[in-house]
Chains A and B, each alone.
Chain A
Amino acid sequence: MRKLLFFFVVVLLAACSTIDCPIQNNVTVQYEIRDKAGKALSLTDSLSVVTMRLDGEYVFLDITTLNNNQYVLLNRLIGKSSFSLPISYSHPEDVLYFCFTDTVKTVVDTVWIKKDDIPHFESVDCNAAFFHEITDVRYSRNYIDSLVLLNRSVTYDQQTVHFRLVPKSSD
């Protein structure tokens, strides 16, 4: 019986709670770049994405992309066929300026992303987060031929592609 009591104490100690916040806790929108035939296309022109903050200042968004199997943050993307961008925590519409630059000029397209913001709670030990449901997307067509919404739900999942971007130059 003593051995049993010892066993139970050990098991109870092992049952002590731990902090279980998700390791991957970035909520970002995934983009893929494709040609009109649907084949992966690496950007030959560089891409920067700018947005306007609450204080009226324009800021570059961090562009996340895979480089040698590691996620890297960039201001300017080149030679990649996929990337991800941040999404605002709670604002009905994000306005993003996609700036495509070659050796001569910069072409800017404006993208409007409408969304519903869904509070997401994991635990009192984990930072508050928002998931999103994209409800609409509009865009100008200077460089972009089409921007197709593939998946509406934006969560911690970094594997799901949300938008397919097809440049005009992909003919």
Chain B
Amino acid sequence: MTNRPSISVLFRKVAISLLLLMSATGASAQWKFFSLQKDSIPLFRGFAVSFDLVGATMMQLSDYGSYEGAFRVNIHDEWFPIVEIGYGKANHETDEVTGIAYRTQAPYFRIGIDKNLLKDKHGPYRLYAGLRYAFTSYKVDVDCRPFVDPVWKWETSYGVKDEPCNYHWIEAVLGVDAKIFGPFHLGWSVRYKRRIAHKEGIIGRTWYVPGFGLDDDTRLGGTFNVIIDI
């Protein structure tokens, strides 16, 4: 029912786009963007762990959310390879209007890299731009309260249990990070998400995808991170 473009094709498209972008800008400018600033600061600047408060707050206040942590490597305060791991959950009890209940819970992960865009790389503030690849494999339960066929008047219903689904997506990230004191930082990030491949079972669509959020036309998301340098 849905088109599922091959991941390799999509990665090839992304790679070609990046190459075209690089060829469109000057060679020296490209090199400057990817090279590290020359100074006396060592290359490896340590690790940081972080925890997202937005997903956790949504988990408490609404019927879906996530607990998410991240592990980030600091390369010269300029490049930050990052792994984000989380556990997303939705438990929408039977909707008063539509009579549909929806449940899912599953882990997810993202892998990617951020670049510090500020000129003062080693200062207390950072402005990031980055990319992520994300994946989750999850199972969905959907129950529907019986409803009547308006013409034939038969009562009918439907539901699925443990319907296996998976979802691949990429995220473009723009974020800020401010040092509060010692190893303690706070930061925001805004994310633009695009699905690249998916399998959503016989019911056609899923409502909440762990890590991605609601599977609707909204492509923006965000995090508020508590970060500790280690």
A residues with CB within 8 A of B: 1, 4-5, 8, 11-12, 14-18, 20, 51, 53-55, 59, 61, 86, 88-91, 118-128, 130-131
Q: Are A118 and B151 in contact (CB under 8 A)?
A: no
Q: Which residues of A contact B188 (CB under 8 A)?
A: 5, 8
B residues with CB within 8 A of A: 92, 95, 97-102, 125, 127, 142, 144, 147, 149-154, 156-160, 176, 178, 188, 190, 202-207, 214, 216-218, 220-222
Q: Are A126 and B190 in contact (CB under 8 A)?
A: no
Q: State the CA gap A18–B152 with chains docked (Å).
A: 33
Chain A to chain B: the 10 pairs with minimum beta-carbon distance, closest first: A15-B220, A119-B158, A121-B203, A90-B156, A89-B149, A20-B216, A12-B222, A128-B144, A54-B153, A88-B152
How many A-B pairs fall under 8 Å by CB? Answer: 104
Q: Are A90 and B202 in contact (CB under 8 A)?
A: no
Q: How far is the CB of B90 from chain A (nearest CB, A)?
A: 9
Q: Are A1 and B178 in contact (CB under 8 A)?
A: yes
Q: Are A121 and B205 in contact (CB under 8 A)?
A: yes
Q: A118-B202, A120-B204, A121-B204 are in contact. List 15 more A-B contacts (CB 8 A).
A: A4-B127, A11-B190, A11-B222, A20-B217, A51-B151, A53-B152, A54-B154, A61-B151, A89-B149, A119-B203, A121-B203, A123-B205, A124-B101, A125-B95, A128-B144
| A88 and B125 in contact, given A121-B205, A128-B100 (Cβ under 8 angstroms) | no
| A8 and B222 in contact, given A1-B125, A88-B149 (Cβ under 8 angstroms) | yes
